[in-house]
């Protein structure tokens, strides 16, 4: 059973006992990532993630590494666009040591200037590594362009010159703003005693400060970051405006009522107006684009994207099944046509990139440049077929079964349960049961998939990025092909 509680300072704790295991997973999830940054601070969340392993008031970086090794060496962290996670998996008997170690890192890291200088060098190497990875680069460049000017399009690692410029004072200020009790979720799953764990968590994390002004600061930062963006009246802006306005109304009414009770504001009108503007402004607007980066490599990496749904949309189940049918497996249509039948590419697949207030549906193919135009045409042929309800009951049943199997199998370890529970509480404040998700997937119909494809997989709104051996002539041909699709 999953339980959600709070520490004395308001940090949410989600626990799920799995007594048939001999291990436990623990993670601290912080609602901060590159989407919370400005152009001047892009990459700072990622720097903080690195620095929390570089020494605390009681542990050196070497001691942290030794303590991690002593409990299985499964302590790690990552930064994403919308959150940062510090986590570990260990034997249940070592769980207290894991909690104490990560708690020390979160609360007592010293951010030594010499260590910061050294770690910047490590991060610059990491940036180069991703720049040398065309499969990562083609994805990131496309997201930069479709959300141009919005923090959701920022690179998680940031730009080199920006990372070099960060000072210890900047990092500590950003840490104080975002690493607050309201902005954290602690998640534990596996074999453990619940009351003992809660006591440990209170000891390790109960001293983290609360910040009543966090929400206002975050919204103000987002507004300032987007002041340079002109929201043109694109079809995508019009499409979402009603739902966004409704969401703004509900959120700001709730915020205003809560803060009015606390006496924090003089009147409701000002907060409704200012926060409604800020929340609406911070919604990313999808903009169709074409971009490319020449790389001296053998194969061409092509990534095609369509506007899609946010992570918590009711249509996410339809998207999951559609993705499985189109390109999410070896049995998918794109894999069977592009690779198996035509032999155009070794790698071809589709995937969803879903975030709090926006989403993309992306198709990735890696191939010889001479095969690219035919692959491009066949990809759009396959996306168009989904709109005609030509999916048989048998094909639909296979992919529903596949999605359900992946869903259930993905929930059968302490680490996966710890991750999914934390993300759910962080994003929406509640847990969605596996049964609910499985039933929702099973209810997806051919008509649902056709409707989704018609609404989102529109050639006229497609975006594309190319990375690889691209000459000016090839790039121009693809840009014209994409432009021709948009006129259909």
pLDDT at 228: 44
pLDDT at 283: 82
Say if CB 197 and CB 203 are below 8 A apart. no
| Percent of all residues in the chain with a pLDDT value above 70, rounded to a whole number | 85
pLDDT of 329-360, one tens digit each? Answer: 999 999 999 999 999 999 999 999 999 999 99
In a domain? residue 223: no
In a domain? residue 387: yes
Say if CB 72 and CB 91 are below 8 A apart. yes
Judgement on whether residues 13 and 132 belong to the same structural domain of the protein: yes
| For residues 151-174, average pLDDT | 96
Q: Rounded to an integer, what distance in angstroms lies between the CA atom of residue 247 and that of residue 311?
A: 15
Q: What is the mean pLDDT of the chain?
A: 87
In a domain? residue 193: yes
Among 162, 185, 213, residue at a domain's last position: 213
Judgement on whether residues 346 and 263 belong to the same structural domain of the protein: no
Judgement on whether residues 377 and 448 belong to the same structural domain of the protein: yes
Radius of gyration of the chain (CA): 24
Judgement on whether residues 134 and 50 belong to the same structural domain of the protein: yes
DSSP run (H or E) holding 364 = strand 359-367
User: End-to-end alpha-carbon separation of the chain, Å?
Assistant: 52
Judgement on whether residues 171 and 307 belong to the same structural domain of the protein: no
- Looking at 4-86, list the stretches that DSSP marks H as alpha helix, in order from N- to C-terminal side: 44-51, 61-70
Angle in degrees, 0-180, between the axes of helices 393-409 and 434-442, rounded to the nearest 10: 170
Say if CB 444 and CB 400 are below 8 A apart. yes
Judgement on whether residues 439 and 400 belong to the same structural domain of the protein: yes
Judgement on whether residues 49 and 132 belong to the same structural domain of the protein: yes
428 HSE (CA, 13 A, CB side)? 13
Q: Which segments of 115-226 are extended strands (E)?
A: 184-190
Say if CB 13 and CB 176 are below 8 A apart. no
pLDDT at 220: 55
Number of domains into which the chain is organized: 3
| Domain containing residue 62: CATH number | 3.30.830.10
| For residues 477-484, average pLDDT | 90
CA 424 to chain centre: 12
Judgement on whether residues 136 and 186 belong to the same structural domain of the protein: yes
In a domain? residue 130: yes
Judgement on whether residues 334 and 353 belong to the same structural domain of the protein: yes
Judgement on whether residues 12 and 52 belong to the same structural domain of the protein: yes
Judgement on whether residues 311 and 434 belong to the same structural domain of the protein: yes
Q: Rounded to an integer, what distance in angstroms lies between the CA atom of residue 281 and that of residue 277?
A: 6
pLDDT at 224: 53
Q: Rounded to an integer, what distance in angstroms lies between the CA atom of residue 301 and that of residue 138?
A: 7
In a domain? residue 98: yes
Domain of residue 235: give its range: 230-281
In a domain? residue 143: yes
Say if CB 241 and CB 285 are below 8 A apart. no
In a domain? residue 225: no
| For residues 285-314, average pLDDT | 95
In a domain? residue 220: no
| Percent of all residues in the chain with a pLDDT value above 90, rounded to a whole number | 78
Starting at the edge strand that comes first in sequence, how are the strands of the sheet with 75-79 ordered? 2-6, 12-17, 184-190, 23-30, 84-91, 75-79
More confident residue, 7 or 266: 7
Judgement on whether residues 256 and 306 belong to the same structural domain of the protein: no
């Amino acid at each position: 059973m999953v339980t959600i509680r709070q520490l004395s300072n308001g940090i949410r704790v989600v626990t799920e006992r799995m007594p048939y295991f001999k291990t436990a997973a623990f993670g601290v999830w912080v609602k901060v990532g590159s989407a919370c940054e400005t152009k001047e601070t892009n990459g700072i969340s990622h720097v903080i993630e690195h620095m929390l392993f570089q020494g605390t008031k009681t542990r050196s970086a070497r001691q942290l590494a030794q303590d991690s090794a002593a409990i299985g060496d499964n302590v790690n962290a990552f930064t994403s666009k919308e959150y940062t996670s510090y986590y570990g998996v260990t034997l249940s008997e070592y769980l207290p040591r894991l909690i104490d170690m990560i708690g020390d890192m979160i609360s007592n890291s010293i951010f030594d200037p010499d260590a910061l200088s050294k770690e910047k060098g490590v991060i610059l190497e990491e940036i180069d590594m991703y720049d040398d990875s065309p499969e990562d680069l083609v994805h990131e460049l496309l997201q930069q362009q479709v959300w141009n000017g919005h923090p959701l399009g920022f690179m998680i690692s940031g730009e080199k010159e920006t990372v070099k410029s960060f000072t210890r004072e900047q990092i500590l200020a950003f840490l104080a703003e975002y690493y607050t009790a309201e902005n954290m979720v602690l998640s534990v799953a596996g074999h453990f005693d619940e009351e003992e764990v809660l006591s440990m968590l209170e000891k390790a994390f109960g001293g983290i400060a609360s910040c009543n002004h966090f929400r206002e600061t975050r919204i103000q930062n987002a507004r300032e970051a987007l002041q340079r963006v002109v929201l043109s009246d694109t079809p995508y802006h019009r499409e979402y405006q009603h739902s966004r306005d409704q969401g703004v109304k509900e959120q700001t009414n709730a915020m205003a009522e809560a803060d009015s009770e606390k006496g924090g504001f003089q009147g409701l009108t000002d907060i409704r107006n200012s926060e409604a503007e800020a929340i609406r402004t911070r919604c990313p607007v999808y903009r169709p684009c074409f971009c490319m980066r020449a790389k001296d490599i053998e194969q061409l990496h092509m990534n095609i994207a369509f506007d899609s749904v946010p992570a918590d949309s009711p249509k996410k189940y339809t998207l999951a099944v559609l993705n499985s049918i189109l390109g999410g497996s070896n049995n998918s249509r794109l894999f069977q046509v592009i690779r198996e039948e035509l032999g155009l590419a070794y790698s071809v697949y589709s995937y969803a990139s879903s975030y709090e207030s926006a989403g993309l549906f992306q198709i990735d193919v890696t191939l010889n440049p001479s095969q690219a135009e035919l692959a491009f045409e066949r990809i759009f042929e396959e996306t168009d077929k989904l709109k005609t309800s030509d999916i048989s009951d048998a094909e639909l049943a296979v992919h529903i079964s596949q999605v359900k199997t992946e869903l259930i199998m993905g929930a059968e370890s302490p680490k996966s349960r710890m991750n999914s529970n934390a993300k759910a509480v962080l994003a929406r404040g509640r847990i969605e049961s596996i049964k609910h998700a499985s039933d929702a997937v099973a209810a997806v119909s051919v008509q649902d998939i056709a409707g989704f494809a018609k609404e989102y997989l529109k050639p006229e709104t497609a975006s594309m990025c190319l990375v690889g051996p691209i000459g000016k002539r090839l790039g121009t041909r693809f840009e014209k092909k994409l432009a021709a699709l948009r006129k259909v």
